Amino acid sequence: MLDINQLRNDFPILHHTLYKRPVVYLDNAATTQKPKVVIDTTSEYYAKYNSNIHRGVHFLSEKMTEAYESARQTVKQFINATYNHEIIFTSGTTESVNLLAFSFGEAFIREGDEIVVSEMEHHSNIVPWQMLCQRKDAKLKVLPITYTGELNLTALPTIINERTKLIAITHVSNSMGTINPIKEIIDFAHQRNIPVFIDGAQGIQHQIVNVQELDCDFYAFSGHKIYGPTGIGVLYGKEKWLEQIPPYKGGGDMIKTVTFEKTIYNELPFKFEAGTTNFIGAVGLAAALKYLNEKGRKEILLYETELYQYALQKIQTIEGIRIIGTSDNKTSIISFLLDNIHPFDTGMMLDKMDIAVRTGNHCTQPLMKFFGIDGTVRASLAFYNTYEEIDYLVDSLKKVKDLFS
Ligand code: PLP
C-alpha cells in the first residue's frame, strides 16, 4: 500500500501556498511536478559534474558521459527496449515526432504514399506528418473516432491500403484520457507490414510500457510529463528502423568522419543526437524513472486508477456537467464542460480557489471540432493527488456553478 501523504512530502511544490492554501495541482497532463530526488540530482550534477559528454578525456567529462549513458540504460530498462542504442534522447515528444517524420520520411515516403493518424491526436502528432506529406506529396489519412471518444477501429480496414507507409497514433488521449487499443492496432498493421509509431506522451506515466511486448516500431515520450525535467524526451525505435533512416540534424557528435566531400555518420544512437544534448536532463529523467520503480509502478497505477474512478463518479454527480470522452477505458484525465459556463471562466474561478486545471483545446483542435466545442476544462491526475483534493475540486465546481447562476 502506498502512503500518499508520505509520497507528497517528496514533492516540494505541493506544499507551496498560492493564494490561501497549497496548490491542488490537477494539470498533470500538461506537466507533472518533480520529486526532490529529481531536483537534487539535477542540481548535484550541475554543481559537481557538469562537463560536456563524449568528447573529453578528463575526469568530469568521463563522469558525465558515464551518467548520461547510464540514463539511457535506465530508460531502456523502463520500457524494456532490446538495446540501449534504440533509445534516442530528444528534447521531448514534439521533437521525437519531428525527428521521425523527417528521417522516416526521407527514407520511406514517396509521392502518393499515405500516413495514418487519428482524429484524437495532439497537434504534435499531426503537424509534423502534415509537413512531411506536403514535402513529399503524400497523403494524410485520418482514423475517425466515435462519440464516446474511442478510435473507430471498424474503419481501420477502409483507411489502410497498400499505399499506407506508417500509422501514428496516441497511446492515451491527452484531451479525454481514452486508452487506445494500441496492441490490436500494431498487430493489425504488422499483418500488412505497416510500421506503427506510438505517441506515448500521456501513456508512459499511466501504463506499464513494454515496447518488446507491444512490438511497436517507435514510441515517444517527454521527461517532464513523467516527473522528470523539462527539455528532455525519448524516441524509442527498433534497431532495424533506426539503422535504415538518415539523421534529422547534422552537427557534432553525430559524425564518424567529415570531409568537405562526404560525411560518414556515427553509429546508433549518436547518429540522431547532434550537438550538445540535454545531458543533465537525461540524468534527471533517469532519477525520475528510478524513483517510480522504487515506489512501485504497479501500486502507483492501482492508486491512480482508484482515484480516477472516484473523481469521475464524484464529478458526474454535479448537475449540468458534460464529460467529453466517455469511454470505459480511460485513465487519469477528465475533460468536462460545466453548464454553459465558458471553460476559461471555470478555470479562472478554480484558480482563485488554488486549483490548477487546464482549459482550452489542449492542442487537439480537430477533436474539439468533432465534438462541436471550442474547448474543455481538463482535470488531470497524478499519484500524488488525494481523495480530499477531489472532494475540494467538486465542492469548488459547485461554487463556480452557483456563482454563475
Ligand atoms: N502528444 C501528446 C498526447 C501530448 O499530450 C503532448 C503534450 O501535451 C505532446 C504530444 C507534446 O509533448 P511535449 O510538449 O512535451 O513535446
- Domains of the chain plus CATH, in order, are 4-30+296-404 (3.90.1150.10), 39-293 (3.40.640.10)
Quick one: CA torsion of 95, 98, 101, 102, rounded to 10 degrees?
Answer: -110
For residue range 144-185, list pLDDT tens digits in order: 999 999 999 999 999 999 999 999 999 999 999 999 999 999
> What is residue 153's three-state secondary structure?
helix
Q: Which residues have C-beta within 8 Å of that of residue 71, sequence separation ≥ 6?
A: 282, 283, 285, 286
133 classed as catalytic: no
CA distance 214 to 219: 10
Pick the atom of ligand 1 nearest to 95's CA.
16
Site of grid cell 524513472:
289
Ligand 1 atom closest to 121 (CA) = 3
CA dist 185 and 316 (Å) reads 31
Residue type, 370: F
What is the C-alpha separation between 133 and 268, in angstroms, rounded?
A: 26
What distance in angstroms lies between residue 203's CA and the mean position of ligand 1's atoms?
Answer: 11
pLDDT of amino acid 170: 98
Looking at 363, 368, 373, 394, which residue is catalytic? 363
Per-position pLDDT tens, the chain of length 405 = 899 999 999 999 999 999 999 999 999 999 999 999 999 999 999 999 999 999 789 999 999 999 999 999 999 999 999 999 999 999 999 999 999 999 999 999 999 999 999 999 999 999 999 999 999 999 999 999 999 999 999 999 999 999 999 999 999 999 999 999 999 999 999 999 999 999 999 999 999 999 999 999 999 999 999 999 999 999 999 999 999 999 999 999 999 999 999 999 999 999 999 999 999 999 999 999 999 999 999 999 999 999 999 999 999 999 999 999 999 999 999 999 999 999 999 999 999 999 999 999 999 999 999 999 999 999 999 999 999 999 999 999 999 999 998
- Cell readout for 30 is 500538461
CA 262 / ligand 1 centre spacing (Å) = 36
Give the closest residue (by CA) to ligand 1 atom 14: 94
- Tell me the per-residue pLDDT of 181-237, one tens digit each, with 9 for 90 and over: 999 999 999 999 999 999 999 999 999 999 999 999 999 999 999 999 999 999 999
Q: What residues does ligand 1 touch, defined as CB less than 6 Å away?
A: 92-94, 122, 124-125, 170, 174, 199, 201-202, 222
For residue 138, the CA-to-ligand 1 centroid distance in Å is: 24
Q: Which three cell numbers stand for residue 44?
A: 548535484
Q: Which atom of ligand 1 is nearest to the CA of 172?
A: 3
Instruction: Give the rounded distance of the alpha carbon of 136 from its chain centre.
Output: 27
Distance from residue 330's CA to the centre of ligand 1 (Å): 18
